[in-house]
Amino acid sequence: MKILILSADGFEDMELFVPYYRFKEEGFDIDVASKKRGTIDGKHDYEIEANRSFDEINPEEYDMLFLPGGKAPSKVRKEDAALQIVRHFIDRNKPIVTICHGPQIMISAGVVQGRHMTCWPEVAKELKEAGAIYEDKEVVVDGNIVSSRMPDDLPYFLREAMRKTQVAISTPL
């Protein structure tokens, strides 16, 4: 199981690290990609090494995409290479799990039309305008997409994200 995280400076620390450590607990491989390789900083002063840049990612190598929130998605959504990665997961029906502001990246990739999703409350308007069917719930699952609203939703998010990893393992893509 190989998971790709797309992020940037200003990530929401819990939203990135809680799933990150959870996936590591399971022994999954994780790459963190940003515009450039190097350390990226969270809103709460935690940091993580982006060991890949967006443009060196071959999305074929990954089983699941994780888009955490915070201020990072507003940067990631401006990068064509990142949006191409998102479209690969949608085209191949591979799992995308996202929380908070993470869905902004999917909006910019043009992949939310007709999909049931949730997000940080302030992103809801934009998500609906992009054609998604917004639901104000701890976690929303629509096929390969799992979305949550905020750090307090993490237990629900983890439950459904882990379910997607099990499906991905049992049905190789």
Contacts with a copy of itself by CB under 8 A lie at: 13-14, 17-18, 21-22, 24-25, 44-46, 151, 154-155, 158-159, 162
Nearer to a copy of itself, 26 or 80 (CB): 26
How much of the chain is helix, strand and coil, in % rounded to 5? 40, 25, 35
Active site residue 116: no
Min CB(126)–a copy of itself separation in Å: 26
Contacts of 149 (CB under 8 A, 6+ apart): 99, 100, 118, 119, 120, 121, 136, 137, 138
Nearer to a copy of itself, 10 or 151 (CB): 151
Min CB(104)–a copy of itself separation in Å: 23
Task: State the Cα–Cα distance between residues 31 and 58, nearest whole angstrom.
Answer: 11
Which residue type does 101 have?
Answer: H
Nearer to a copy of itself, 24 or 36 (CB): 24
Task: State the Cα–Cα distance between residues 155 and 153, nearest whole angstrom.
Answer: 6
Backbone angles phi, psi at 69, to 5 degrees: -105, -150
Min CB(24)–a copy of itself separation in Å: 4
Cite the active site residues.
101
